[in-house]
Amino acid sequence: MDISHLAVFIEVMKKGSFAAVAKDRHIAPSTVSRIVAGLEEHSQTRLFERNTRKLEPTEAAHSLHTRLEPLLEEIIASFDELQDTSSQVQGPLRITSPVSLGLVYLSPWLTQFSIDYPKVSIDYLMTDDRVDIINEKIDVAFRFGQLDDSNFISQKLFKLKYIACASPEYLQREGKPRTPKDIVQHNCLSFLIPGFSTSWKFKALGKAKISEYPISGNLRISNAMGLKESALQGHGISLLPEFTVRRDLVDQQLINLFPSYEISATNFDSYVWVVFPSRTYLSKRTRALLDFVKQQDY
């Protein structure tokens, strides 16, 4: 029996669709259907009930999936270990990160990493959606904020610092807020993310007291780089990760409005994390990437 066919079965169980698996694998849905049909013929057991609306796993399929998935992961890990006995760093890596982190840091980093390790093939998913690490077979994920899943191994990369900023044109037209509470009188550009578009919190450097003020504005965007562009065009005040506006602040295209404050829309203990599946074994290529990233300037 072809082990790759068992891997297809596992993916169909996770995604619930021949078409979704076919799209991920760049093959025809009919090919996935034939693979599953071959498994059913080999086992003399129906694994899925098929109709025009839904693909429903049978009880036998659920039982097979429960027993098969950890065995298949162990087989894949074993072959990874064998591959790592080579002196070369090689093989596939699937990586994901938020768009802003990708544009500022990871895209150039991964380009250099690919030059340094030409036998590593990288699939890089740059998205602000929270990707399912297991279902999407992610080897390394970069994430913002606080982590809520203890099933993964994680390491802090650097602390996120947020800057409330606006363009000189906006400040000349609308006036510069003198104190944090003045933001209630301004057009605040905010993230289209739960918890990020109702208020901003301020804490004077070296102080413990937190002051929170409501914000309002006529533009919300789900991506930091989009918010930055709106701020650069003079549309309002935006709260952005410092790494996304560092060059704009130096060039005075954007002005840091409250340099003596820490600012957050949620909490003040927010980091960029490197996350990978909880396994006892990390491939040589994954370790090489982690070491490479830690050597970079943030």
> Mind listing the pLDDT tens digit of every residue in the chain (298 residues)?
778 888 888 889 888 888 888 888 888 889 999 999 999 998 899 999 887 677 889 999 999 988 888 887 777 766 666 665 556 888 899 999 999 999 999 999 999 999 999 999 999 999 998 888 877 889 999 999 877 666 688 899 999 999 999 999 999 999 999 999 999 999 999 998 887 889 999 999 999 999 999 999 999 999 999 999 999 999 999 999 999 999 999 999 999 999 999 999 988 888 999 998 865 567 889 989 999 999 998 8
- Whether residues 20 and 154 share a domain: the answer is no
Contact 223, 128 (CB under 8 A): yes
Report the pLDDT value the prediction gives residue 83, as an integer from 0 to 100: 60
Cα(191)–Cα(206) distance, rounded to whole angstroms? 27
Does residue 268 contact residue 203 with C-beta atoms inside 8 Å?
A: yes
Residues paired with 73 in a beta bridge: none
Considering the domain architecture, whether residues 100 and 77 belong to the same structural domain is answered as no
Domain co-membership, 72 together with 192: no
Are 80 and 200 members of one domain? no
Angle at 138 between CA 136 and CA 143, to 5 degrees: 110
Q: Which of the listed residues 84, 115, 142 is the one where a domain comes to its end?
A: 84
Single out the residue in 67, 84, 101 at which a domain terminates: 84
Which residue segment(s) compose the domain that 69 sits in? 3-84
pLDDT at 25: 82
**Cβ–Cβ < 8 Å for 98, 143:** yes
**Is 207 in the same domain as 225?**
yes
Considering the domain architecture, whether residues 150 and 214 belong to the same structural domain is answered as no
Judgement on whether residues 55 and 176 belong to the same structural domain of the protein: no
For residue 93 the two structure tokens come to 């890596």
Q: What dihedral do alpha carbons 234, 238, 242, 247 form, nearest 10°?
A: 0
Find out whether 220 and 198 touch, Cβ atoms under 8 Å: no
The whole-number pLDDT of residue 70 equals 80
Same domain, 116 and 193: no
Q: How far is CA 238 from CA 1, 102, 120, 159, 261, in A?
A: 57, 20, 39, 19, 15
Counting Cα atoms < 13 Å in the Cβ hemisphere of 10 gives 17
Residue 144 sits in the same domain as residue 210 = no
pLDDT at 269: 87
Residues 225 and 282 in one domain: no
Summarised one tens digit per residue, pLDDT across range 77-126 is 666 666 655 568 888 999 999 999 999 999 999 999 999 999 999 999 99
- CA–CA separation, 252 vs 267, rounded Å? 27
Mark which of 20, 52, 84 sits at the end of a domain. Answer: 84
CATH of the domain at 170: 3.40.190.290
Structure confidence at residue 71 (pLDDT): 83
Residue 11's CB is within 10 A of a number of other CB atoms, namely: 20
- Specify the pLDDT at position 199: 95
**CATH code of the domain containing 99:** 3.40.190.10
Parallel, antiparallel, or unpaired: how do β-strands 271-277 and 152-159 relate?
Answer: antiparallel
pTM of the full structure:
0.74
Looking at residue 75, what is its pLDDT? 76
Count how many domains the chain has.
3
Residues 167 and 230 in one domain: yes
Are the C-beta atoms of 263 and 201 separated by less than 8 Å? yes
Q: Which amino acid makes up residue 69?
A: E
Asked if 74 and 212 sit in the same domain, the reply is: no
Residue 25 belongs to domain with CATH number: 1.10.10.10
